[in-house]
Structure 1
Amino acid sequence: MKQKLAPRRIKILVAKLGLDGHDRGALVLCRAFRDAGMEVIYSGLFATPERVAQIAEDEDVDAVALSLLNGAHNTLFPRVVKELHKKGINDVLVLGGGVIPEEDRQGLEKSGVSGVFGPGTPLATIIDHINAGVAKLRKL
């Protein structure tokens, strides 16, 4: 009798982009994702979009969570999406977080960022978004 394999754990890359040395929120997310059963890779500080895409490719991640607090989200988040696409990576959920004005959210989502989360967002909301988004991508 053939055994059914358990689904693979979600593997997520948490990336701190650009010249942003504030990583407390990203580290909180890393722990929350781990506690939710995900495999977590952390980029460390000052990652470039190219480096984020390379890590995503090397580690075969399901999701990339971008964290940025310095106001460069409209530039750097879409660049990560473009770098992933350049590598042929089209099946990875990309989400962003930080202090992001409401008027910037729609543009980020149009660029390929599936969700944008600000300070005070319940961790369960972000985890639910990742679980649902990765499940949808795995069915494609």
Structure 2
Amino acid sequence: MSTESDQRTIRCMVAKVGLDGHDRGAHVIARAFRDAGFEVVYSGLHKAPEEIVQAAVQEDVDVLGISILSGAHNTLVPKITNGLEGYGAADDTLVLVGGVIPDGDREQLRAESVDAIFGPGTSIEETIEFVRENVPER
């Protein structure tokens, strides 16, 4: 019988990609993940897609949450997901995108291996529950 203490801690990276300097939401979700018992790494601002991929692989994260409000999601997010594939980490990493993503762009992001998109107004509890239910087994 497995107990909660036997379960592996979920490792998450909250990442800010590109020139987007709006980081309040990223800080809120990072703190909420930490409070939920997840290990959290925050990338800091203005990271290139390659830097985020390398950090996610080096930190061996289960979840990569990409916060993006710049409007460059269709360019930057695929660079990250393709980078994860290049390292063989795509199947082991749950990829989330948070920000203002137009409805018309969501299908393209999902086709680029994004597992979920969370927009403004999404409850913290919903996001945490999604992670717990969908984090890849290792």
Distance 2:41 2:62 in 1: 11
Partners of 1:114 and 1:86 in 2: CA distance: 18
Report the alpha carbon displacement of residue 64 of structure 1 after superposing the two structures with TM: 0.1
Deviates more, 1:103-112 or 1:4-13: 4-13
So what's the TM-score if we normalise by structure 1? 0.92
Matches within 5 A, 1:1-140: 6-90=6-90, 91-134=92-135, 137-138=136-137
% identical equivalent positions: 50
Number of aligned residues = 135
Q: Secondary structure at the residue paired with 1:69?
A: coil
Question: How large is the Cα RMSD of the aligned pairs?
Answer: 1.5
Q: For residues 97 and 133 of structure 1, what CA distance do their matches in structure 2 show?
A: 16
1:34, 1:52 → 2: CA distance? Answer: 19
Q: Distance in 2 between matches of 1:51 and 1:70?
A: 18
Q: CA deviation at 1:62?
A: 0.3
- What secondary structure sits across from 1:40 in the alignment? strand
Structure 2: gaps spanning 5 or more residues:
none
Structure 1: gaps of 5 or more residues:
none
Tell me the alpha carbon deviations over residues 33-65 of structure 1, each in whole angstroms, 9 at most, x when there is no partner. 001110000000011111111111111100100
Q: Secondary structure at the match of 1:74?
A: helix
How many Å apart are 1:102 and its aligned residue?
Answer: 1.0
